[in-house]
Structure 1
Amino acid sequence: MALPVSGDPEDMVPTWLLFLSWIAIAAAVLCAAWLVFDIYGRDYRPPMAIMGVVWPVTALYFGPIAIWAYLRWGRPKSDRWQREHGREPADPPCWVPAALGTSHCGAGCTLGDIIAEFGVFLLGVKLAGSTLLAEYVGDFVLALLLGVVFQYLAIAPMRGLGFREGIVQAAKADVLSLTSFEIGLFGWMALMSFVFFPEPHLHPDHVTYWFLMQIGMVIGFLTSYPVNVWLIRKGIKERM
C-alpha cells in the first residue's frame, strides 16, 4: 500500500517516518565518523588496509551494528589491539568470514549507489523515460568498478598477484557477489518507486529516501551473504 502523498515531497512523508529517517541517518553518520576516528585517529588499523574503508561505509547502512561487529572482529585484528592484549584474537564463528566478505562487497556497492543516485538526480538523467532505470544502470556500473577495485586491493596483496591477474581474480571474486547485492537493493528500490511513493517519487535530496536506501542495502547484504559463503568455500574469494 502506498504511503499518503501530495504534490510536495515534504508533505507526502508521514511525520513518524520523517523523524525515524533523521534518527537513522544521523546515527549512521555518527557511527561511520567514530569508526574513522578509531581506525585512523587511534591507530587500530586493520592488516588488510581496504577494511579501514569498509567498516565506516558499512556503518552508513548498518549503523551501531557495524560498530558492534567491528569491536568484536575488526579491531582485534589490528597490531595495536594485539600489542595491548598480548595475544592474537580468537577464531571467529564460522559465519563471520562470509559476513565480512559481504560487507567488503557491500562497501563498493554502497559508495557506487550514493554517487550514482546523486549523479542521476542532479543531471536529470533518464533511460527510456525512466529515472529508476537510469539509477539501476548507474548504480550497477559504479558498484562494479568500485567493487572490483576493493576486491583487487584485498586479493592482489594476499596472493602476490600482478595488476592484470589481480584484476581478473578480483572480478571473479566480486561480480557475482555484487550482482546478488544489487538484486536485493534493486528490488527494494522498485518498491520505493512503484509502491511506497509512486507519485511524486522521493529523490536523493530527501532524508527519507536515504533511510529507505539503508533498508535496501541491508536487504542487499542478506541476498549477497549466501553467495559469499559459496565463494569463500570454493576459494574464489579470500577470507577478510
Structure 2
Amino acid sequence: MQPTWLPTLSWVSLAVGVVSFAVVLVDTYLYGHRQPVRVMEIVWLVTVLYVGPAAVRLYWNWGRPEALTPSPRTDRPHRGIIVTQVSRCGAHCALGFVVAEVALYGFDLSRGALWIGYAGDYLAAVTIAVLFRLFEGPRRSLAEVWRALATVVKVELVTITAFEAALFVWLTLAHHMVFPESPLRLDSPTFWFAGQIGLIAGFVTAWPAASWQVGRGLSGGTR
C-alpha cells in the first residue's frame, strides 16, 4: 500500500516544477527575453519543469544572457556550452518520456514489459531531437531530415543515451524496489514524481558525456 505522505510529496515536487516553469515562461514571453534559437525556449522551459529551481539558476546564468544578444554567441564559456548540451538533450529525453508514456497508456500498453516503454521513450527522444534540429533550419525537405538526423547522431546521441540509461535504471528500481507495493501508473502523481527523479538523475549522468563531447569538439551546432 502506498504511504500517505508519498502523494503529497509528489504533488509538492511537481508544483515546484510548475512554479519554476512559470518563472522562465514569464521572463521569456512577458519580459521579452526571447532566445536567438527559438527551440532553446522550449529547452529551458522543459528543463526547469523537471529540475526545478536549480535549473532556473542555470537559465539565469547561461540561458538568459543568450536572450540579451541579437544572435547566437560564439564566445560562450566551456561550462556554458556543456550546460546547453545537457539541457538540450535532457529536453529531448523529457519530452520523449512524456510523449511515449502517454501514447502507451492511451493504447493500453503501459502494463506490458518495461522495455516496451523504454524503447518508446528512447525512440521518441531521438525523434524529437531530429525535429528540433530540423526546425532550426530555414528549409523543410527530406534532405534536411537526413542532415538533422546525422547531426543528432554526431553531436547529441551519446549524451541522450547516457541520459536515457540513467532514467531507465532509476525507473526499473522504482518499479521493482522503491515502490513495489504501489504500482506506478500514469494517472498517479507518484508516477510523474518518479519520472521527475529519473530525469534529474539523467541530467546529472549526462553531464560527463556532454563534457566529453564538447572536449572532442562534437557539440557543433548546439546553442
TM-score of the alignment, normalized to the shorter chain, above 0.5:
yes
Question: How far apart are 1:95 and its partner, in Å?
Answer: 2.7
Question: How far apart are 1:140 and its partner, in Å?
Answer: 0.9
Q: 1:17 aligns with which of 6, 31, 37?
A: 6
1:62 aligns with 2:51: yes
Question: How far apart are 1:148 and its partner, in Å?
Answer: 2.5
Q: 1:27 aligns with which of 16, 20, 42?
A: 16
Question: How far apart are 1:93 and its partner, in Å?
Answer: 5.6
1:72 aligns with 2:61: yes
Question: How far apart are 1:230 and its partner, in Å?
Answer: 1.4
Amino acid at match of 2:94: T
1:115 aligns with 2:99: yes
* Structure 2 CA distance for aligned equivalents of residues 97 and 111 of structure 1: 21
Question: What do you get for the CA RMSD once the two structures are aligned?
Answer: 2.4
Is the 2:36–2:69 contact (alpha carbons within 8 Å) kept by the matching residues of 1? Answer: no
- Unmatched segments (≥5 aa) in structure 2: none
* Structure 1 CA distance for aligned equivalents of residues 55 and 135 of structure 2: 21
Amino acid at match of 2:26: F
Amino acid at match of 2:187: D
Question: How far apart are 1:212 and its partner, in Å?
Answer: 1.4
Kindly tell me: are residues 26 and 169 of structure 1, through their superposed partners in 2, closer, same or farther at Cα, counting changes over 3 Å?
same
SS of the residue aligned with 2:35?
coil
1:209 aligns with 2:199: no
Q: Which residue of 1 aligns with 2:159?
A: 177
Is the 1:151–1:174 contact (alpha carbons within 8 Å) kept by the matching residues of 2? Answer: no
Is the 2:46–2:91 contact (alpha carbons within 8 Å) kept by the matching residues of 1? Answer: yes
Amino acid at match of 1:105: C
- Unmatched segments (≥5 aa) in structure 1: 6-11, 84-88
Q: TM-score under structure 2 normalisation?
A: 0.86
* Structure 2 CA distance for aligned equivalents of residues 220 and 51 of structure 1: 19
Question: How far apart are 1:218 and its partner, in Å?
Answer: 0.8
Count of aligned positions: 215
Question: How far apart are 1:200 and its partner, in Å?
Answer: 4.5
